[in-house]
Amino acid sequence: EDEEQDKDDDDEEDEHPASADSIPPPPALRVMARISLRPQPSTLSFTKEDAERFLAMPIPPPSPLT
């Protein structure tokens, strides 16, 4: 009887690696991949003229609250 139980145990061990290989990745990993591929919003881009205009603005006085 012990030999039969050993054979059953061997059969179970053989099934585990195969089932582990077939497990799909968690959905969260797929979502993260999509997020990382998003293009940057175009609203962040500005021209050299925009930068010069911004740098030419007067600096406001410090707030009296600080």
pLDDT tens for 8-50 read 555 555 555 555 567 776 666 555 555 566 666 656 677 889 8
- Tokens for 65? 């609250």
DSSP state, 1?
Answer: -
Asked whether the whole model's pTM tops 0.75, one would answer no
Average the pLDDT over each of 5-14, 43-52, 57-66 and give the range with the smallest value.
Answer: 5-14
**Residue 14: strand, helix, or coil:** helix
The mean pLDDT of the chain is 67
Q: Whose structure tokens read 């009887």?
A: 1
Length of the chain: 66
pLDDT of 51 > 70? The answer is yes
Cα–Cα distances (Å) from 40 to 29, 30, 36, 48, in that order, read 21, 19, 10, 19
